[in-house]
Homo-oligomer: A and B are copies of this chain.
Amino acid sequence: MNEQKSIGIIGGGAWGTALAQAFASQERDTLLWAREPEVVESINARHENELFLKGRKLDPRLKATASLAEISKREILLLVTPAQHLRATLKTIKPDLSPQTILVICAKGIELETGKLLSEACEEITPDNPFAILTGPTFASEIAAGLPCAVTIATLDKAAAKILQQTLGTKLFRPYFTTDIIGTQLGGALKNVIAIASGVVHGKGLGESARAAIMTRGVAELAELAAAMGAQKETLLGLCGIGDLMLTASSMQSRNFSLGAALGEGKTLEEILQQRNAVTEGVHTAESALALAKKYNVVMPITETVNRCLKGELSIDAAILELMARPVRGL
């Protein structure tokens, strides 16, 4: 039985467009919603997202829409909005959802205002819908170019897992399933903060050896919070944890790593953010993560140093001293 359902992607940034291209190019019935009319026009008229993924030809079968009511009718909805906008998006689309619509959270982050995971927002706003988390080590530009990747999909709903496997899984886009909703989200969110720290070490020219030491300590720190929050430690060892960290914390293609690198080179946060048209999620996550760390009584020295640095409470040189001087946990 063909269980392939229709796919709607909410969010026309680089990652939303890349996901849409990955599915449309494999003959999945895919529609993309973008907030920006020029993105919708550019995709429909010229098969390109000239604003967020310039130069990448998209499959002509991929259509875009500016209507949230239209996209909300799709059977599977991938939510690729920034983490801090997810709750508002859910509220907006809720009236148009069928109870069968499967919601797939593709943002990585923690709600700054509530301190909640995105799955919690989803459970609060749309409690009747099955939902899943899609996360893992991926660069939008690569996935849009048809390069292979593997991602983690977390869901407690077995029927939804089966449908997502059959609809989203292709020979290039390989989802692996888990039921660890908490661990999956924490890996994707917290690694952005470690990536900023890794970038700072790189930007200061301290070398790859020091960067590997910081990243290793970062894994210990995020695994500790995850375990305290009820996640399985193994989850953090997977694609959505160390896999995503290895990718994010080592490449200038990562917004979080490159932000850290620019800080390390002496730029101010304000200067860096002014030059970006995309969200750098780790900036928000640092503060949210620390609130969780406090609540669950976990010490997160790297996250704390990054946060104080981002808030201007600590100079980069003082931050480096802190990052290098504290003992490594996890040999």
A residues near B, CB below 8 A?
136-139, 142-143, 145, 147-150, 152, 174, 176-178, 180, 184, 206-213, 215-216, 219-220, 223, 234-235, 237-240, 242-244, 246-247, 249-251, 253, 324, 327-328, 330-331
Chain B residue nearest to A201 (CB atoms) is B148
Bound Cα distance from A270 to B139, whole angstroms? 34
A235→B176 contact, CB < 8 A: no
Report B-chain residues with C-beta under 8 Å of the C-beta of A240: 331
Known pairs A235-B331, A238-B331; A207 contacts B150 (CB<8 A): no
Among the listed B139, B209, B243, which residue makes an inter-chain contact with A142, where contact means beta carbons less than 8 Å apart?
A: B209
Among the listed B209, B220, B251, B324, which residue makes an inter-chain contact with A138, where contact means beta carbons less than 8 Å apart?
A: B209
Among the listed B142, B177, B206, which residue makes an inter-chain contact with A331, where contact means beta carbons less than 8 Å apart?
A: B177
Bound Cα distance from A214 to B230, whole angstroms? 27
Report B-chain residues with C-beta under 8 Å of the C-beta of A148: 206-207, 209-210, 213, 324
Bound Cα distance from A246 to B145, whole angstroms? 25
Bound Cα distance from A243 to B149, whole angstroms? 22
B243→A176 contact, CB < 8 A: no
Report B-chain residues with C-beta under 8 Å of the C-beta of A243: 212-213, 215-216
* Min CB gap A328→B, angstroms: 5
A209→B247 contact, CB < 8 A: yes
B139→A207 contact, CB < 8 A: yes
Among the listed B216, B220, B239, B328, which residue makes an inter-chain contact with A246, where contact means beta carbons less than 8 Å apart?
A: B216
Among the listed B136, B209, B247, which residue makes an inter-chain contact with A147, where contact means beta carbons less than 8 Å apart?
A: B209
* Min CB gap A320→B, angstroms: 9
B177→A215 contact, CB < 8 A: no
Residue from A142, A150, A211, A249 having most chain B Cβ neighbours under 10 A: A150
* Min CB gap A2→B, angstroms: 22
A176→B327 contact, CB < 8 A: yes
Known pairs A137-B216, A149-B213, A250-B246; A239 contacts B328 (CB<8 A): yes
* Min CB gap A57→B, angstroms: 17
Between A and B, 9 residue pairs with Cβ closer than 8 Å are A147-B209, A148-B324, A184-B331, A208-B251, A212-B243, A216-B243, A220-B238, A223-B237, A240-B331
Among the listed B216, B247, B249, which residue makes an inter-chain contact with A238, where contact means beta carbons less than 8 Å apart?
A: B216
Among the listed B139, B176, B178, which residue makes an inter-chain contact with A208, where contact means beta carbons less than 8 Å apart?
A: B139
* Min CB gap A240→B, angstroms: 7
Chain B residue nearest to A209 (CB atoms) is B149
* Min CB gap A329→B, angstroms: 9
Report B-chain residues with C-beta under 8 Å of the C-beta of A239: 212-213, 216, 328, 330-331
Bound Cα distance from A163 to B257, whole angstroms? 38
Bound Cα distance from A150 to B315, whole angstroms? 23
Residue from A147, A234, A331 having most chain B Cβ neighbours under 10 A: A331
